[in-house]
């Protein structure tokens, strides 16, 4: 089992012919993900072949619109590498075409644009992951995003994180102690994102083959506290957590637009306190995540 993406995912890449889209589509294809279409307005009817250095690339048909790609290539999920100025429109175009899984890698999307896109996606009943995220991977089945596929191992531990880099560290720690992952979700660190911790955790709660969860948060906002409350009341699997940004000075943005402590709210201490009260085992270093998960599972 898995959540959001699996071997039945038929992926569409929006912005496939741009530099980021070309580079990462090659790696997505190399991993074995079923990429069925690409969208670049004005290039419909052509074929994407990557570049001369793409050893694993295979031809992917290009379309002018997402609707056309969904109708003709039967795409059921999309990943977005469109520049920030146009990414919110790309998100809404995907939702309007009926896609239910939308993963946006793009960073720097204006908050005003994301407010509109978020509301539109919700009105269509779609799931948006991101923006400003590494994506989603179900090891051995589908990689949709920019994460390094080779560090992942198929297994039963879910991972959800606001930080892309710390997602990779958690996966590396799990793999090193012999624990594979069911699905890994990088939700992104922007102020407005489509999938919050609580949304991802609900998915893992419903997945019978996910036996444990790693949750990596950071300062800013109250998403971790909300997730902790849900875990306390509804999530009956072992959870190991880590909060990044303990030493960040108040009022200063630390990497992610959403990672800012203001008005005395969103501190690491508040989040750790809430998580521990919910029964989550919170570690002091991301290097301890794998061992802590082994212990939580009783191994």
Which residues are identified as catalytic?
256
Distance in angstroms (rounded) separating the CA atoms of residues 229 and 208:
21
Locate tokens 């204006």: which residue? Answer: 110
Is the Cβ–Cβ distance between 218 and 189 less than 8 Å?
Answer: yes
Buried b (16+ CB within 10 A) or exposed e, 233-250: eebebbbbbbbbbeebee
Locate tokens 């102020």: which residue? Answer: 191
- Which residues are bridge partners to 129 per DSSP? 103
Is the Cβ–Cβ distance between 203 and 247 less than 8 Å?
Answer: no
Distance in angstroms (rounded) separating the CA atoms of residues 182 and 177:
15
């Amino acid at each position: 089992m898995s959540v959001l993406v699996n071997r039945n995912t038929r992926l569409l890449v929006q912005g496939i012919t741009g530099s980021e889209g070309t580079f990462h589509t090659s790696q997505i294809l190399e991993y074995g993900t079923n990429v069925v279409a690409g969208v670049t307005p004005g290039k419909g009817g052509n074929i994407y072949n990557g570049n001369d250095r793409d050893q694993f690339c295979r031809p992917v048909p290009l379309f002018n619109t997402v609707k056309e790609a969904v109708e003709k290539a039967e795409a059921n999920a999309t990943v977005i590498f469109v520049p920030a100025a146009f990414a919110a429109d790309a998100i809404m175009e995907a939702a309007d075409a009926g896609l239910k899984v939308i993963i946006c890698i793009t960073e720097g999307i204006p908050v005003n644009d994301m407010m509109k896109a978020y509301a539109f996606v919700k009105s269509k009943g779609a799931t948006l992951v991101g923006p400003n995220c590494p994506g989603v991977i179900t090891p051995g089945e589908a990689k949709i995003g920019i994460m390094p596929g080779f560090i992942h191992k198929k297994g039963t531990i879910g991972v959800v994180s606001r930080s892309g880099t710390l997602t990779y560290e958690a996966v590396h720690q799990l793999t090193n102690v012999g624990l594979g992952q069911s699905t890994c979700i990088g939700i992104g660190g922007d102020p407005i994102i489509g999938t919050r911790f609580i949304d991802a955790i609900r998915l893992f709660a419903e997945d019978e083959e996910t036996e444990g969860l790693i949750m990596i948060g950071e300062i800013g906002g109250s998403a971790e506290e909300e997730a902790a409350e849900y875990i306390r009341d509804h999530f009956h699997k072992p959870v190991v957590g880590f909060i990044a940004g303990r030493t960040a000075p108040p009022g200063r943005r630390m990497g992610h637009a959403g990672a800012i402590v203001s008005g005395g709210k969103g501190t690491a201490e508040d989040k750790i306190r809430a998580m521990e009260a919910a029964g989550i085992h919170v570690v002091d270093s991301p290097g301890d995540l794998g061992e802590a998960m082994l212990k939580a599972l009783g191994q």
